[in-house]
Amino acid sequence: MKNLVGKVITQKTPFMGDEVEVRKLTVGQVIAMQDIIARANKVKGAEGQIKLLRDIIRISVVGADELTDEDFSTFPISELNQLSEAILSISGLGGSDAGN
């Protein structure tokens, strides 16, 4: 099993009529995500939730770490929400079966 340490598992998921490649979150990333969620919950209004979406996507989607906040502002919020739900599901944290 030691040979699997650090192995990255990805899965393609639909986004805006195309596909993006999503990394399954590691235990360490899930723990970091809990901290991000806690901080986002302290921010009033929609900005905290938008920042949370950006952070989840940047951590999980291959190439999304190169996107600026302004780039994210060009995407429909419903598409970002769907992608975020798919990311959590793929990593075993969501309520649907999108990752299975």
Contacts 24+ apart (CB under 8 A), 95-99: 98/13, 99/11, 99/24
pLDDT at position 37:
81
100's tokens: 């299975």
| Predicted TM-score (pTM) of this structure | 0.81
Query: Do 33 and 40 meet the contact criterion of CB atoms below 8 Å apart?
Result: no
Q: What is the pLDDT of residue 34?
A: 84
* Paired strand residues for 15: 18
Each residue's pLDDT, cut to its tens digit, for the chain (100 residues) gives 888 888 889 999 999 999 999 999 888 888 888 888 888 878 777 888 888 899 999 999 999 999 999 999 999 999 999 999 999 898 887 654 444 4
Q: What is the pLDDT of residue 29?
A: 86
pLDDT at 32: 85
Residue 8: the pLDDT is 87
pLDDT at 20 (0 to 100): 97
How far apart CA 84 and CA 1 sit, in angstroms, is 30
Angle of CA points 45, 96, 85, to nearest 5°: 35
**Token pair belonging to 30:** 């899930």
For 78-95, give one letter per residue: b (16+ CB within 10 A) or e. Answer: eebebbbbbbbbbbeeee
